[in-house]
Amino acid sequence: MPIQDTPEEWPVTATTTPFTGNKTSVRTDEVEMPDGSRVKRDYQVHPGSVAVLALDRDDRVLVLRQYRHPVRQRLWEIPAGLLDIPGENPLHAAQRELYEEAHVKAEDWRVLIDLYTSPGGCDEAVRIFLAREISVAEGERFEVSEEEADMELARVPLEELVRGALAGELHNNCLVTGALALRSVLSGDGIDALRPADASWPARPFDA
């Protein structure tokens, strides 16, 4: 049997939505188990996200530092954002986030890795792109607000991010996963073996 995730859906006999927020909601499903019993499962309904590991020609990764209230920490992260528009092409969303958060564009895009952030309690799916041949974007910078208005930007060597992740000093899931994935790619089959930027994404189907 190949080691890969497969689609499966157990019967849902009842559904309620006890909370609806600005971007996400909480759903309670009554799920029928294989033995015929029924249990309730609460989870966050999420539109999905994209993130960008932007690598410059000196093998430095573009990172930003942002306050995250739920964990009461200022975290180092890579540019990322929600898939706000149903069916939105994730590449277009990633290009937008790279521009808005870092005022940077990239000429070479690949899919680095796909993941579910917390599949036991949330249906969020994230696609992390690798962006190379980066340069400063034209025009005026995008006007940011709220937590993003206080962001710091830096370029950090990939190996320093890998070290920090393994040392327990960096915790953002997209940064840690992206850095470790790219390190594995560079020591394995190489960037040309990565999927193209428009590769299908069953977790979040999109328009071409």
Catalytic site positions = 148
Smallest CA-to-CA distance from 12 within 51, 45, 41 is with: 41
3-state secondary structure of 115: strand
Smallest CA-to-CA distance from 66 within 58, 75, 56, 53 is with: 75
Strand-by-strand arrangement of the 80-82 sheet: 80-82, 49-54, 125-136, 104-116, 195-196
Q: Are 186 and 116 in contact (CB under 8 A)?
A: no
What b-and-e string marks burial along 11-28, b requiring 16 or more CB atoms within 10 Å of the CB? Answer: eeeeeeeeeeeeebebbe
CA gap 173, 208 in Å, rounded: 27
Residues 6+ apart with CB under 8 A from 22: none
Backbone dihedral region for residue 149 (phi beyond 0: left; psi -120 to 50: alpha; all else: beta): alpha
